[in-house]
Homo-oligomer: A and B are copies of this chain.
Amino acid sequence: MPTEGQADPTAGSGRRRDPRSHQAILDATLDLVEDVGYARLTIEGIAARAGVGKSTIYRWWSSKGALVIEALGEVLDPPPVPLTGDTRSELSGIVAQAMRLYSDETGARTIIAGLVADMHHDEDLRDALLDRFIRPRRAGNRVIVERAIARGDLPDGTDVELVIDRLVAPVSYRALVTWGEIGDDLPGALVDAVLAHPNVR
């Protein structure tokens, strides 16, 4: 299941993947997911909007989710946390990044909810999501936490993973599950807690 369109250099003769179709499909996916949301998004609809046969989509993507991942990737890729050199503001940046990601205004919240549900019965999609979105973002956040340790603002032995989750999870949880308010005071509160009591393994 190729989730990315990297051209295969060992490809035989014959016609190569048409980049115009590729782009049209991604564009159509974005358009449609914005219009109708993830749940009502259909391959058929994307094909029609893109002016493309359904089989062209199935040839290159294994599922609706895989297609959305690639389409969203271009638009919604991890807005990097600014490295200010100040631990407090960098950790706040982690929370802020999550808040932006789950923001209702971009419609991303609904899409994430859909992808998350689908990844529970589609292993390929799970791998794609983890590889493409979740792990890269965590890697970036890990760097920040490790800088804070190096700087001495967090103790050696800090459980980096847990610290990240303590910053990000409340945002995700309120956005996806409890429909709770996500106010501007949240980053400060979470960062305070982490700095006051970082978990040491």
Contact residues of A with B, CB < 8 Å? 37-40, 109-110, 113-114, 116-121, 126, 130, 134, 138, 159, 161-162, 165-166, 168-170, 172-174, 176-180, 186, 189-190, 192-194, 196-197, 199
How many protomers of this protein does the assembly include? 4
Q: How far is the CA of A178 from the CA of B98 in the complex (A)?
A: 13
B121 touches A37 (CB 8 A): yes
CB nearest neighbor in B for A171: B169
- A126-B179, A165-B180 known; A116 vs B118 contact (CB < 8 Å): no
| CB of A158, distance to nearest CB on chain B (Å) | 11
Q: Which residues of B contact A113 (CB under 8 A)?
A: 116-117, 119-120
Chain B residues near A176 (CB-CB < 8 A): 116, 172, 176-177
CA distance A196 to B199 in the complex (A): 11
For the complex formed, measure the closest distance between the CB of A164 and the CB atoms of chain B, giving whole angstroms.
9
Q: How far is the CA of A44 from the CA of B12 in the complex (A)?
A: 19
Residue of B nearest to A198 (CB): B193
